[in-house]
A and B are shown apart, each in its own frame.
Chain A
Amino acid sequence: MTDQSTIHFYPKEPLIALVGNPNCGKTSLFNLLTGGKQKVANYAGVTVERKEGKLTLGNQVLRILDLPGVYSLYPRSLDERITCNVLLGRATGEKKPDLVLCILDATNLRRNLRLVLAVKRMGLPCIVVLNMMDVAQKRGIPINLAQLEAELQLPVITTVGVQTHGDDALRQKLASMDFSKPGLEQLSMIHQDAPNLQTQADNEVVRGILSRMGLDQLMADPLSDQIDRVLLNSVMGPLILFVLLFLIFQAVFSWAEVPKDLIQQATDWISQEALERLPDHWLRSLLVYGVIAGVGGVLVFLPQILILFFFILVLEESGYLPRAAYLLDRLMGSVGLSGRSFIPLLSSFACAIPGIMATRTISNARDRLVTILIAPLMTCSARLPVYALLIGAFIPSRQLGFGVELQGLVLFILYLAGILGAMGVAWVLKKYANSKSSFHPLMMELPSYHLPGLKNVAIGLWQRMLIFLGRVGGTILFLTIALWFLASYPKAPIGSIGPAIEYSFAGMLGKLLAVIFKPIGFNWEISIALVPGMAAREVIVSSLATVYALAGQASDSAQALAPIIQKSWSLATALSLLAWFVFAPQCLSTIATVKRETGGYKIPIVMLAYLFGLAYCASYVTYHVALYFGLS
């Protein structure tokens, strides 16, 4: 017997689910309908992103649910299973939708209409939404709406997801709708419980509809084909991709200068004010040296993180990302992966967590596991603060000609080191870990090119920023305060000469760890900072700021950090720390994600062990090579 005792209470507003093929512009339309006010979470028990928003029309409030993009409703992949279960009202904690909006790419009815037939068979009230109507019109695809409504026996609305007011017709339709039970029942046609695999039969029906509507000739997007002739050209293509990636990393450094300075000045000003206005008390020390120094030291890197995400979002929106994966498929194949691993790995440059979650699109289980294992080697944005600090302090800013700047070049090399390390690990796994099947399917759609919608990019950036600030507010703040405590107590005995921190818990722990880290050139200050750095990597910058601020060498906060480490570290130590961060294990949240995605402790433990080993070896080699060349 199954346990039926759980009762879920759902908000009384009607629930509208958006269903559609991948790349049909569903998310743009969702953004247009709900604005920036979205709740992004996961479905119960699985790491499939769940996006919900609210649409207010007069006095009617509607809940809009953006379901994962699917090609069919046959529950095979995780995304399809979620979509099916939600539509059937079987998903845990989800209400069965009151209305389904079937979003179609108007330029590709051939494939998209099959999904409408499958949704119709589920017996849910359904409205067909022809999205990307502007593109269809521009290409001269004559769609007779009345005829399509008659063929499908469903209402058909047209929208332009990337245009303000592109959803007016849909809003009007929803505003005029009767969301009572009998009102909705008029919109559901056939009652049949289980979705079944009728691809072939459905296709016959779709072809029939299209030929009666005079839409059966094939008109692909001529513009996309022309662009592809350049961007996927066998010589130009890889060259353009390489230059593009290089420029992105240059921009991450140069564009961020001004906002970074502003944040620095603001942090500086706040801690100055706090020092002057507050009485000398342990609370002031906590506020200035713990909270402001810690949070400020991480916040200055927000501009760089946003710039990187901006480029990833624009490339994703434009349709170029899967093409980059196509171009790199051969390269990935040489280490036993497929181009499908490229998009999760690229996302890992922003943060490994969405990257690891994105591996769900890799159908081959072994490929997926290898991708998860190497994702942490992609330089995530959390490592950027550490790189930025060390590069800023130790690498001179110098123009090398051709618009190439030395600091940017070093950053590029660090990214490259991570990529090469990842390829090396994948290659070793291909060589020594046997795989059951030598079949690595690619099967990746290359959608038509689109101008990226500003609003979509803005909403994406906004969500990323909230996640980052949430981390600063949560994990990072907690850890900086904990570290401040460890670094402040017990107090130095009266009459002692050395800096007070040497007598604290943190000082003791750091000195203990320093024994292990001495062979790779880390001093005890670095060793202390590495401990909270395990919880979230960007914390190491704020930790160093806290350690040095309390060690009495700095006046206030993170801003003064660069000149201090410049004085007290050798170049060999700095390079060794850079090498450490190329390979060192991820923050705890990544490890937790890996555990959840792989369903056990085995893979996260393997990951921790190999990353620590690799990091130690890389730092050891770097340190000693640097010493050999006299960089002490």
Chain B
Amino acid sequence: MTLDQLANNITMQVKSVRSFPELPEIPHQLEEIGFIAGESVTILRRNPVGGDPLMVRIGLSTFALRKKEASLIELEDIQQ
């Protein structure tokens, strides 16, 4: 499952960030802002028109992402 498919207000954790050959720096940037394996992630809200962009809580930070970049983020259930 990828982040763009997650329902609002459900918390999962990041499994990995997919590589994106078209723009290889995008996955790196996602990691830098905190999308690192094991970090908790929740979608706080979506734009009502078309569901884009998403407001995402990653760790303690909040970022606005578009669906396309969110689709690079693989999720898994929270494991303690």
Contact between chains at A329 and B32 (CB < 8 Å): no
A contacts with B, residue count (CB < 8 A): 41
Given A329-B66, A330-B52, are A108 and B60 neighbors across the interface (CB < 8 Å)? yes
- CA of A219 to CA of B40 in the docked complex: distance in angstroms? 12
Quick one: which of A200, A218, A363, A443 contacts B59, CB cutoff 8 A? Answer: A218
- CA of A76 to CA of B29 in the docked complex: distance in angstroms? 9
Contact between chains at A76 and B63 (CB < 8 Å): no
Task: Find residues 23-76 in chain B having any chain A CB closer than 8 Å to their own CB.
Answer: 23, 25-26, 28-34, 36-40, 44-45, 47-50, 52-53, 55, 57, 59-66, 68-69
Given A441-B26, A442-B66, are A326 and B55 neighbors across the interface (CB < 8 Å)? yes
In the complex, what's the smallest C-beta–C-beta distance from A236 to chain B, in angstroms?
12
In the complex, what's the smallest C-beta–C-beta distance from B80 to chain A, in angstroms?
11
- CA of A11 to CA of B10 in the docked complex: distance in angstroms? 55
Given A74-B28, A363-B25, are A442 and B40 neighbors across the interface (CB < 8 Å)? no
Contact between chains at B64 and A330 (CB < 8 Å): no
Contact between chains at B40 and A333 (CB < 8 Å): no
The answer to whether the Cβ of A161 comes within 8 Å of any Cβ in the partner chain is no
Quick one: which of B26, B47, B61 contacts A329, CB cutoff 8 A? Answer: B47
- Identify the closest chain A residue to B48 (Cβ): A234
In the complex, what's the smallest C-beta–C-beta distance from A8 to chain B, in angstroms?
32
> Interface code A311-335, partner B: CB below 8 Å = 1, 0 otherwise?
0000000000010011001100100
The answer to whether the Cβ of A463 comes within 8 Å of any Cβ in the partner chain is no
The answer to whether the Cβ of A446 comes within 8 Å of any Cβ in the partner chain is yes
The answer to whether the Cβ of A601 comes within 8 Å of any Cβ in the partner chain is no
Contact between chains at B28 and A439 (CB < 8 Å): no
The answer to whether the Cβ of A225 comes within 8 Å of any Cβ in the partner chain is yes
- Identify the closest chain A residue to B47 (Cβ): A330
In the complex, what's the smallest C-beta–C-beta distance from A30 to chain B, in angstroms?
22
- CA of A218 to CA of B60 in the docked complex: distance in angstroms? 6
Given A71-B32, A71-B33, A207-B38, are A441 and B62 neighbors across the interface (CB < 8 Å)? no
Given A232-B55, A439-B68, A445-B62, 7 additional A-B pairs, CB 8 A: A74-B32, A110-B34, A111-B59, A326-B53, A363-B25, A441-B29, A446-B62
A–B complex contacts, Cβ < 8 Å, 12 sampled? A108-B61, A225-B44, A322-B64, A326-B53, A330-B49, A330-B52, A330-B53, A439-B68, A443-B30, A444-B64, A446-B55, A447-B62
Interface residues of A (CB under 8 A from B): 71-72, 74, 76, 107-108, 110-111, 197, 199-200, 203, 207, 218-220, 224-225, 228, 232, 234, 322, 325-326, 329-330, 333, 338-339, 363, 437, 439-448
